[in-house]
A and B are shown apart, each in its own frame.
Chain A
Amino acid sequence: MWSYLGRRLIQVPLVLLVVSLMTFAITRATPGDPVTIMLGMQTSPEAAKAMREEFNLDRSLPEQYGLWIAKVLTGDLGRSMRLNDRVTTLIAERLPISLQLASAGMLFALLVSIPLGVIAALRRNSWIDYLCTGYTVLGFAVPNFGLALILIYVFSIRLDWLPITGIGSSEAEAGGFWKHYSPFIIPAIALGSLQTAMLTRLLRSSMIDVLSQDYMRTARAKGLLPANIVIIHALKNAMIPFVTMAAVQFGYMIGVQVTIEYIFAVPGMGSAVLNAVINRDFPVIQGFTLVIAVFFLVMNILADMMYALLDPRIRY
């Protein structure tokens, strides 16, 4: 396993190199001049020239890439062209918010999928199994922003139970527990719906798989408590693919948050990329996509590692 981890880690710089080339290429190969967008059409040629020089945009493309990479290796992602903040500062502000939202979404997915998946597997072809199937089928089909609008309509507008804005606002953070966390509920459910469907389906099928194994019969024959059998013998083994899938999906959620952050005005990573793309803020686009890619990569490697740690039969 350690040699496998070593091989995976050796490949990381290579993948990151290609990723960094891609983020760079995406910004440079597309139309739209950031300087004209930042300063406007009527700007003086001197001001435009100064800005180009400040952000090295007057140099050749290989030089620009080289200068950027050299800085990235020292942990400096440059400055935003629009806000004049350091990109690393912006990430430090926004990454925690995105992580909180993704964690809330994953928490919802786990809270629903574990009981639903287990019960559906134990009571196959019962009404709860059909409910589970129906739920997963819908979870795959309804896009998260559509679900978000439905939830806002029901729980915020009609019932007036939950707030829809306030994530990351100073007012909410100064307030109590409810004021702080209640704005997360609707976005988290909308964000986690796809993962809930995926994880429920996975857990149901792996539970059914495990329940038909010989050692389950042995456990029953020994006279163990049914709850004991289900939780210790079956669930523990069925959780192996589940945990890895959850880890991969968690990394994925950071990236698909864009629409959710857009609806709920969340100052997270996704909305930052969205704004940066509209403003052609090259350093921000490059820095943020790079960080998100690294996060995604780390979660994937972590998932593979967990797989090996949880299942002693797996040897890489």
Chain B
Amino acid sequence: MADAPALPTPAPIKFRGSLALAARQFPRNRAATIGFVILLLICLATAFAPWVAPYDPIQIKLSMKLKPPSFEHPMGTDHFGRDVFSRMLWGGRTSLAVGLLVVGFAFTFGVPLGLASGYFGGKVDNMLMRLVDAFLTFPPLLLAVALVGLLGPDIKNVMLALGLVQAPILARMIRGSALAVREDVYVTAARALGASPLRIVLSHMLRNMVSPIVVQLTAVFAAAVVSEASLSFLGFGTQPPEPSWGRDMSEARRFLGDAPWMFLAPTSVIAICVLSINFMGDGLRDALDPRAWRTRRSVKADA
């Protein structure tokens, strides 16, 4: 992970080797590769929305309102005559940015908490886990609704709320894998050699937890994208006229019969995103776990 290059031991070279091996494994999973490519395309298209989007997403043009998909408007136009495709691209910026920031938030708080809890055990573990329990006792979406609703509908608050909801879930999972890894022989060996707890956790345990952590982070990303859309749908996220996947679906409710493309476009975009993320997560899990690697020999044996 991020700490690897700073270590003076020869281990980093080996580690880069295993990462390179993992990178070679990943393309062998076709669904994961397709998911990765689609997600990359969506990310690039939304990131470069000002150049890619054919129209201004908030420019009202009533003469063009509720037009079905056509060559000029590939996803049709909405009730203000705005191009739905351009709105999807611009809206994706918020959704994906929130997703990434929530992943960052959950990682910065969830991983250290989970590691501390799993490594030290005892009182620390008990205290931290009761706190996590309390968070997990609330259905995640409801907690996010309460937090965002009370903090005020704003995209920064959406991010904060979703981060607060996701971090405990991640912490609980990290604790589980830390507990399992802690009992491994190489950890005992490192301790016997006099390694400090920090070093055991960071350079021995964490490295063997890369696969579950990365997979869980993809799950957090998918959950964050959907939750952001849910909150915006309920009116707590992006405010009009700014484009947003969830918010636009909420607006589309009034034109269900006349303009089905207005809700189909954001629904499909969200579904495609989540689908790609999930496939990518599956691929990463296999690629980062040497036991699941597909070699030429094993592929032949399967066939």
Contacts and interface: CB of A to CB of B under 8 A. Distances in A.
B179 interface: no
| Size category of the binding interface on chain B | 35 or more
Interface in A1-56: 11, 14-15, 18-19, 21-22, 26-27, 30-32
A143 B146 contact: no
A254 B139 contact: yes
A138 interface: yes
Contact of B139 (A18, A137, A255): A255
B257 interface: yes
Interface stretch (B55-63, B66-74, B201-209, B268-276): B268-276
Contacts of A162: none
A252 B142 CA distance: 10
Given A31-B152, A262-B234, A292-B139, A153 B256 contact: yes
A32 B266 CA distance: 32
B142 A273 contact: yes
A167 interface: no
Secondary structure type dominating chain A contacts: helix
A226 interface: no
A292 B143 CA distance: 11
Interface in A248-277: 252, 254-256, 258-259, 262-263, 270, 273-274, 277
B229 interface: yes
Contact of A274 (B134, B149, B266): B149
A143 B234 contact: no
B141 interface: yes
Interface string B202-244: 0000000000000000000000001001100110000000000
B150 A26 contact: yes
A255 B270 CA distance: 21
B275 A19 contact: no
Interface string B274-299: 11001000000000000000000000
Contacts of A280: 150
Contacts of B300: none
Given A140-B278, A143-B226, A289-B138, A259 B234 contact: yes
A14 B126 CA distance: 12
A230 B162 CA distance: 43
A235 B43 CA distance: 44
Which residue of B142, B152, B260 has the most chain A CB atoms within 10 A of its CB atom? B142
A142 interface: yes
Contact of B263 (A137, A149, A270, A278): A149
A67 interface: no
B94 to A, nearest CB: 16
Secondary structure type dominating chain B contacts: helix
Contacts of B253: 149, 263
Nearest to B272: A141
A195 to B, nearest CB: 13
Interface residues of A, number: 46
Interface in A105-148: 137-138, 140-143, 145-147
A65 to B, nearest CB: 15
A152 B274 CA distance: 22
Contacts of B234: 258-259, 262, 274
A106 B198 CA distance: 46
B236 to A, nearest CB: 9
Nearest to B226: A143
Contact of A18 (B133, B226, B233, B270): B133
A289 B151 contact: no
Nearest to A143: B226
Contact of A26 (B130, B139, B146, B270): B146
A153 B141 CA distance: 25
A255 B142 CA distance: 6
Nearest to A14: B130
Given A15-B130, A142-B271, A256 B147 contact: no
20 contacts: A15-B130, A19-B134, A21-B134, A31-B150, A138-B275, A141-B271, A143-B270, A145-B229, A145-B230, A149-B263, A150-B267, A153-B260, A252-B139, A258-B230, A258-B234, A259-B233, A277-B145, A277-B149, A278-B149, A280-B150
Given A18-B133, A149-B263, A273-B145, 6 more contacts: A11-B133, A18-B131, A150-B263, A153-B260, A258-B230, A293-B138
Interface of B: 130-131, 133-135, 137-142, 145-147, 149-152, 226, 229-230, 233-234, 249, 252-253, 256-257, 260, 263-264, 266-267, 270-272, 274-275, 278
What are the 7 A-B residue pairs with the smallest beta carbon separation, nearest first? A255-B139, A277-B149, A146-B267, A30-B150, A18-B134, A141-B274, A141-B275
